[in-house]
Structure 1
């Protein structure tokens, strides 16, 4: 970044205009010096800061037209949300400390994932993934996951983008400097309609980028967010391991075991991925917004400070309380994620017994997974969706009991049929699961027998006419 003398509004010597443009446009930011000269030519003198009150209306109209061009989502954007900008913002968020993955690190990851497959073969009946492992940089994780983030956040993103744009469009005329003709905003209607989509794109990109600095593998959030690809993120694993008194190779292998175990489960039970995303989509489809909150935030927008248009919305949650249908979807999602993470916890604990630090790593990962971190909380505030297994320990206890009482074959057979999915009642009382399951199967079999008799002609003779 080019060095500039300290300017008003910058506490550390950085240029706020350059920071704003880079935050908004990433590597495609307009030339900062050119924008500054244009602003000074429209009202500033010498090296004095830009003062919007000194602009005449004609110059202001020209400046706002230039800003409109900058804010236009442009090609590659579909609908009101600027998904292209979202990905750019996510990549920009991880770009500062994201070294390329070298050949040595790739080899370490590949060996860890291969060994994890072998160790899991002895403790689970799920089949090997048969996949080559990958070592990703943070930017590669962003690229691999962005399509699914769009799928997950699409409904709420569109609603928020439209609401933000409408609120800004409604409030902006009253925020103009004295003496400026509100009719000048007429040429900015396309920009105003895109403003909410631009801001949401920036915020979503920032949230995904923050997650990109925190996740340890492709399935670390409990979903196959990167598709059916085995992957570890070496730079994040290294930072995670720095706070532990555990050898690096043990940390890497333990995380590889968790990554491979999850992927085996998703491949073993195709319905699981379908139901996870269906619960997310059902929740998102029912999103209701706090419109009054958005309108109050829009009242603080400064039309002379484009950065403020994002700042007043940044970090705020405008998601209304979920209704009954959404709560049911969230409960189903939390239950499924808890069951996945609980199963992974139990299977990996058994597979990792050769590791001296297995117990310590298990406890560390469970605390991390159950509590979430700042990045996950920022994402939850943005879209109202927490990807946290609140009943992780109960789910792990359930799988431990099932394994001890019925064996791993029975345990893995549960995952083959969605109708056998354990319920909240089963987590509360794992000892009664097998009996309840047997009774439910018997009831289903009896119903099937009755239906078969009807199909085989058990209706009796038809009544005679008259």
Structure 2
């Protein structure tokens, strides 16, 4: 992956064309005719557009899928799926989880996916997450064009839109290929990317992850199956959680702004007779989005919610496997560091959507859920997920004891009933 902002990744120029006499026009001293070169570029662009599918949105998802599948076909070994082992691990994990949480099983089936399966099954969610970014970036580029340039471009602006969609699609395809080769489960980055009620593990990636852990492969598989099953229980039986997570990412993406004054300076540097000047401008690094105060708020809210999800999964899985898997503690610490420190998967996501998707306060959230469970029991701990107004805040992560003490008075009551009483009391005060 390169360091360019999402969508601005151009192919390298073909150096061999520079010395091709068929691509030069020699009247007047044998110098290259810029208009002939521009015509050839447009001809090649037309061929690319005709081969890249019929996508008309801000991202060419047909092209993204083609690129991802092609890259993964070159790296992924064939026939490495283990559907029987995955199904057995999932059944065992669900049985163990039943004893440590009140939330029932959320996945109606658990699949063995290849990396290409992951790309295909998660692409609809990526479309939801990437469209706001692409629209903001491409819209800022067009808005920054001088009025005379817009008038001169006329119908060519639609072609520019297709070019932008291809550029976004190309980078998305490369990013998904890298991410697909690294993720271990469908919920590995904390978001419900796959279809609802379908758990999934990627045995090839899990096998690579297991190398050097000095634990049996079957033990690692069951541990990861338990994490996937715990995530699925939350996403299936906490109705507001899936929408809240994805909507917060969308809110962050919609708030992206681009320095249009810098764009205006860059457009002035573009020489229509020199296509390479466009590439130089787009690689200048001045397309980097600017973070707004509204985005900072959305990011803080997302990080807290991700930490709470990962912290709950961490505690529940630890309770489920502690006495059954000898290497549970070591695996737990490995996964904690992998999620909290931000590995290649989080960096790829940052390139795609513009933010780093990692629960920075995972350990604080785990400590909070552990404290609440020890003081008030599993029913109260898991009942907190019943309504978004009940879940801990960032301030609660700073002082988990105070949060646990607030629950003491209603520890034996239904949290939803308590919430309704609070709402009724506030309504009476307003009246």
> Is the pair's TM-score, using the shorter chain for normalization, greater than 0.5?
yes
1:97 aligns to 2:75 (yes or no):
yes
Q: Is the 2:35–2:273 contact (alpha carbons within 8 Å) kept by the matching residues of 1?
A: no
Alignment of 1:130-149 (within 5 A): 130-149=107-126
Q: Aligned partners of 1:61 and 1:86: how far apart in 2? A: 26
1:186 is displaced (CA, Å) by: 8.3
SS in 2 for 1:99: coil
- Helix, strand or coil for the counterpart of 2:75? coil
- Is residue 2:223 matched to residue 1:254? yes
Alignment of 1:288-307 (within 5 A): 288-292=257-261, 299=269
Indicate the residue corresponding to 1:278 in structure 2: 247
* 1:192 counterpart residue number: 160
- How far the C-alpha of 1:378 sits from its partner, in A, is 3.5
Higher RCO by CA contacts (8 Å cutoff, separation 6 or greater): 2
- The answer on 1:264 being equivalent to 2:233 is yes
Per the TM alignment, residue 64 of structure 1 is displaced from its structure 2 partner at its CA by 2.3
Contact 2:56/2:162 (<8 A) preserved: no
2:91 counterpart residue number: 114
Provide the TM-score with structure 2 as the length reference: 0.81
What's the secondary structure of 1:162's corresponding residue?
A: helix
1:201 corresponds in structure 2 to 169
CA distance in 2, matches of 1:396, 1:289: 37
Structure 2 CA distance for partners of 1:339 and 1:436, relative to 1, 3 Å: same
C-alpha distance in 2 between matches for 1:379 and 1:283: 13
Q: Which runs of 5+ in 2 are unaligned?
A: 1-9
Q: 1:350 aligns with which of 302, 313, 319?
A: 319
Q: Is the 8 A contact 2:102 2:379 kept in 1?
A: yes
1:79 matched residue in structure 2: 57
The offset of 1:111, in angstroms, is 1.2
Q: Of 190, 195, 200, which residue of structure 2 is paired with 1:231?
A: 200
Deviations along 1:316-361, one digit per CA (max 9) or x if unpaired, are 86110222x2222111111110000000001111111211111110
User: 1:80–1:162: 8 Å Cα contact kept in structure 2?
Assistant: no
- CA offset at residue 112 of structure 1? 1.1
Q: Residues of 1 paired with 2:427 and 2:406: CA distance? A: 23
Q: Secondary structure in 2 aligned to 1:223?
A: coil
Distance 2:317 2:48 in 1: 48
The reply on whether 1:222 has 2:222 as its aligned counterpart is: no
Alpha-carbon distance, 1:257 to partner: 0.7
Q: Deviations over 1:72-121 (max 9, x none)?
A: 37643133332222222332332321234456x12111111111111111
Residues 191 and 410 of structure 1: is their aligned pair in 2 closer, same or farther, counting only changes over 3 Å?
same
Q: Which of 347, 352, 370 does residue 340 from structure 2 map onto?
A: 370
Does the 8 Å CA contact 1:166/1:193 hold for their aligned counterparts?
no
Conservation of the 8 A alpha-carbon contact between 2:187 and 2:231: yes
> Is structure 2 residue 363 aligned with structure 1 residue 393?
yes
Would you say 1:384 and 2:362 are equivalent positions? no
Check the 8 A contact 1:302/1:309 in 2, yes or no: no
1:303 CA displacement: 7.3
Q: Deviations over 1:5-44 (max 9, x none)?
A: xxxxxxxxxxxxxxx98x99xxxxxxx9xx98x9663349
Tell me which residue corresponds to 1:9. none
1:222 CA displacement: 0.5
Shift of 1:71: 4.0
Aligned to 1:414: 384
CA contact (8 A) 2:38 2:273 kept: no
1:42 paired with 2:19, answer no
Superposed counterparts of 1:3-14, under 5 Å: none
Q: Tell me the SS of whatever aligns to 2:386.
A: coil
Contact 1:301 1:308 in 2 (8 A): yes
| 192-201 or 445-454, which deviates more | 445-454
Paired residues in the alignment total: 404
Q: State the secondary structure of the residue aligned to 1:356.
A: coil
Work out whether 1:65 is the aligned partner of 2:42: yes
Q: Counterparts of 1:436 and 1:130 in 2: how far apart (Å)? A: 33
- Deviation at residue 159 of structure 1 after TM alignment: 1.6
Q: For residue 402 of structure 2, what is the aligned residue in structure 1?
A: 432
Tell me, in whole angstroms, the C-alpha distance in 1 between the residues paired with 2:273 and 2:91: 56
How far apart in 2 are the matches of 1:446 and 1:150? 39
